[in-house]
Structure 1
Amino acid sequence: MMFKAIIFAALAVAVLAEYELPSDKRAQMRELLREQCKKSGAEDKVDEVQNVFKNFVDCLKNLIDVHTVQKEIEEAKPNGALDEVFKKYCAKSPQLKTCLHNLFDGVAPCIGSESLEHLNSAKNSSDQLIDFVCYKDGDRIALFIAEGGPECFQSKASDIKTCADNFKNSFTSLEDAKKLTVAERCAKLDQLKSCVVSKLETCETPTPANMFESLVNFVAANTPCKKHT
């Protein structure tokens, strides 16, 4: 599938975040990783790929400490200085892109030959997402937080889950989903976007809904869905 590489990479990060997982979960996730590599004829690459994941986690930790960022955001809010916080972290976007590129390249042995062609697409998409968030030194994300974006998403979590469940249930099976044309797939994604936007529009400010819609449109503009939106 088109996003298999991204999904596998995300799973891998969870697998290797050992400091957050109990030992039984670590063993379970490692076994899933081993099975995935075995399916791709790369069982001998498990240790190598695990090291790639560990290096990725270390790379992120060296760039961003989540607790520090949260503290800086809370301190900056009353002073209207969120833009300064995100300007500092967006300056690290080239290094973050490198972290992600190394991750995607490193998981290649266990992705499977049918999905290797999508690795470059995954790299480009991650780069574009970072560029979107860090547009004008992070003005977008600063505005999103200042306008209560995280709180909006949290308050609408149940509604957004309903949108996602409806999207998932619109496919009778994975095989049927694969049979859809590009236009049909894009139409379903557009329905999901419209559903989520309609829920976010009930928040106190329009910024969260506008930001989410802009992000989805930005991503779609760099996919085959551009022709169908």
Structure 2
Amino acid sequence: MLFKVFLVAFMAVGVLGEFKLNDDARQKIKDTIKNTCTENGAADKIDQVEESIKNFVDCFKGLFNFETLKNEIEAAKPNGALDEVFKKYCAKSPQLKTCIHTLTEGVTPCLPANIRDNLGAGKNVSDQLIDFVCYKDGDRIALFIAEGGPECFQEKSGSLRECATKAREGITGVESVKALSVDEQCAKFDALSSCIVKALEECSTPTPGNMAESLLRYIRKGTPCKSN
């Protein structure tokens, strides 16, 4: 249910070249949006959806400047003031939730009926993830960075890519994802989670692995997998 929602969020970034995609890659993303809308009987909504995606990126960029955030984090590390940095940014979480909700509503016309029927749950999951990260004004993310979390992820990037590759085995596109039963989707999620945690546990400190495990468990509780 959430695959398409997150896909559109990433496409939003791609459409504006936020990750410096080349013209060919950017065009493929636009084509995906066009095809998705057309397949779901909403060809007349393509412009509306692209505008919603652009507005989402503008909204997000209005709240966060990654270069500024990076500089603030580096300046705060020596003084042990990371908690103050994330307290400031977590105070923006209500606006971020609104950005995401507006995006979700904007892309709704191009989503399949079964996904549209479950968008309420999708909003709850995104809200819960933000609340997890900003628990106690961002204490978790501050600890993650202070304990070398980003460095751990970079060190284990190869292993994490292998985890993702294994999770995609048998998946050739959106239709193959839809064909998976809930049990099969949950099994893939659990296998991916275990692989990620195992890789991060090999870092010099346990915090990144422990935090990833907590986050993945939190995500799982917001899915149909919780009853399995």
Deviation at 1:151, TM superposition (A): 0.5
Deviations 1:111-132 (A, max 9, x none): 1223212322221111010000
1:105 matches 2:105: yes
Deviations 1:32-73 (A, max 9, x none): 322221112212212211111111111111111111000000
Q: Give the alignment of 1:28-43 within 5 angstroms.
A: 28-43=28-43
Which residue of 1 is the match for residue 69 of structure 2? 69
The separation in 1 between residues aligned to 2:74 and 2:193, in whole angstroms, is 30
* TM-score, length basis structure 1: 0.90
Instruction: Write the letter of the residue equivalent to 1:206.
Output: P
1:50 matches 2:18: no
Deviation at 1:108, TM superposition (A): 0.8
* TM-score, length basis structure 2: 0.90
C-alpha contact 2:37 2:43 (8 A) present in aligned 1:
yes
Q: Give the alignment of 1:1-229 within 5 angstroms.
A: 1-17=1-17, 20-169=20-169, 171=170, 178=178, 180-228=180-228
**Unpaired segments ≥5 residues, structure 1:** none
Deviation at 1:181, TM superposition (A): 4.2
Which of structure 1's runs of 4+ aligned residues deviate more than 6 A? 172-176
Give 3-state SS (helix, strand or coil) of 2:118's partner. Answer: helix
The separation in 1 between residues aligned to 2:103 and 2:199, in whole angstroms, is 34
The separation in 1 between residues aligned to 2:33 and 2:58, in whole angstroms, is 19
Instruction: Write the letter of the residue equivalent to 1:71.
Output: N
Instruction: Write the letter of the residue equivalent to 2:144.
Output: F
C-alpha contact 1:16 1:53 (8 A) present in aligned 2:
no
Deviation at 1:26, TM superposition (A): 3.8
Instruction: Write the letter of the residue equivalent to 2:116.
Output: L
The separation in 1 between residues aligned to 2:213 and 2:19, in whole angstroms, is 35
Instruction: Write the letter of the residue equivalent to 2:51.
Output: N
C-alpha contact 2:86 2:138 (8 A) present in aligned 1:
yes
Deviation at 1:179, TM superposition (A): 5.4
The separation in 2 between residues aligned to 1:177 and 1:107, in whole angstroms, is 20
Deviation at 1:226, TM superposition (A): 1.5
* Inter-CA distance 108–184: structure 2 relative to 1 (3 Å threshold): closer
* Inter-CA distance 88–173: structure 2 relative to 1 (3 Å threshold): closer
After TM superposition, the structure 1 stretch with the greater mean CA deviation from structure 2, 187-196 or 215-224, is: 187-196
Instruction: Write the letter of the residue equivalent to 2:120.
Output: N
**Unpaired segments ≥5 residues, structure 2:** none
Instruction: Write the letter of the residue equivalent to 1:134.
Output: C
* Number of corresponding residues: 227
Deviation at 1:21, TM superposition (A): 4.2
Deviation at 1:27, TM superposition (A): 3.7
* Inter-CA distance 149–40: structure 2 relative to 1 (3 Å threshold): same
After TM superposition, the structure 1 stretch with the greater mean CA deviation from structure 2, 195-204 or 84-93, is: 195-204
C-alpha contact 1:86 1:142 (8 A) present in aligned 2:
yes
Taking every aligned residue pair, what percent have the same amino acid on both sides? Answer: 55
The separation in 1 between residues aligned to 2:176 and 2:69, in whole angstroms, is 43
Give 3-state SS (helix, strand or coil) of 2:168's partner. Answer: helix
